[in-house]
Chain A
Amino acid sequence: NAGVMQNPRHLVRRRGQEARLRCSPMKGHSHVYWYRQLPEEGLKFMVYLQKENIIDESGMPKERFSAEFPKEGPSILRIQQVVRGDSAAYFCASSPIGDTQYFGPGTRLTVL
């Protein structure tokens, strides 16, 4: 059973571009969580999704950020019009029924 997969592992964008981060949960897991780790800071919760539903988006910035977890395919975290402050490591985690969360390797976003 493959672990949580995230791609790309590293992403470089220029200011104003869009960033799309993908997360494939472990097989059988229907719950997906996104966290962000800013340089020299701890991980902060962003959003919790189940298939086709956003359950908790209390940690998402109000503008430019969106997330989805469609019926088929990976979960996508989308950042529009990126700014330098968006540079961070973005981690995805999955769980089967809201139990232990298993983390992916992360996507490191650099905004030039």
Chain B
Amino acid sequence: KQEVTQIPAALSVPEGENLVLNCSFTDSAIYNLQWFRQDPGKGLTSLLLIQSSQREQTSGRLNASLDKSSGRSTLYIAASQPGDSATYLCAVRRGDTDKLIFGTGTRLQVFP
């Protein structure tokens, strides 16, 4: 059974810091991994999707890496801003199913 864990559960940093959020999964037979952002009381916004054959994806100040063999992904946020404050979720998809298995999230607060 696939389990997805995110560390840390919460993070509070001053503006301008570079951040690393971690996601680990127990079953390396994944189809892809996706990082989402969730604002309080809102839906999910997809940030980055990494296919199982890829090692990383970049979008602006965000970079996500994937090491399938070790069951790990990291989301790197450069030069954090208060607007980055949100909960960040990672989710994996297996090859034989379309459903996403979510981690419990990292709650990020960036203060000015």
Contact = CB atoms under 8 A, between A and B. Distances in A.
Interface of A: 31, 33, 35, 41-45, 48, 55-56, 58-59, 91, 95, 98, 100-106, 108
Contacts of A100: 34, 46, 49
Interface of B: 4, 34, 36, 41-46, 49, 89, 91, 97-105
A16 B112 CA distance: 47
Contacts of B44: 43, 91, 103
Nearest to B6: A42
B43 A98 contact: no
Interface of A is mostly: strand
B99 A31 contact: no
A98 B32 CA distance: 12
Nearest to B45: A103
Given A100-B49, A102-B46, A105-B43, A45 B100 contact: yes
B98 A56 contact: yes
17 contacts: A33-B99, A35-B102, A42-B89, A42-B103, A42-B105, A55-B98, A56-B97, A95-B98, A98-B98, A100-B49, A101-B98, A103-B36, A103-B45, A105-B42, A105-B43, A106-B42, A106-B43
Given A33-B98, A41-B104, 8 more contacts: A31-B98, A42-B105, A43-B91, A45-B99, A48-B98, A55-B98, A56-B98, A91-B44
A2 B98 CA distance: 23
Given A42-B104, A42-B105, A43-B89, A103 B43 contact: yes
A58 B99 CA distance: 10
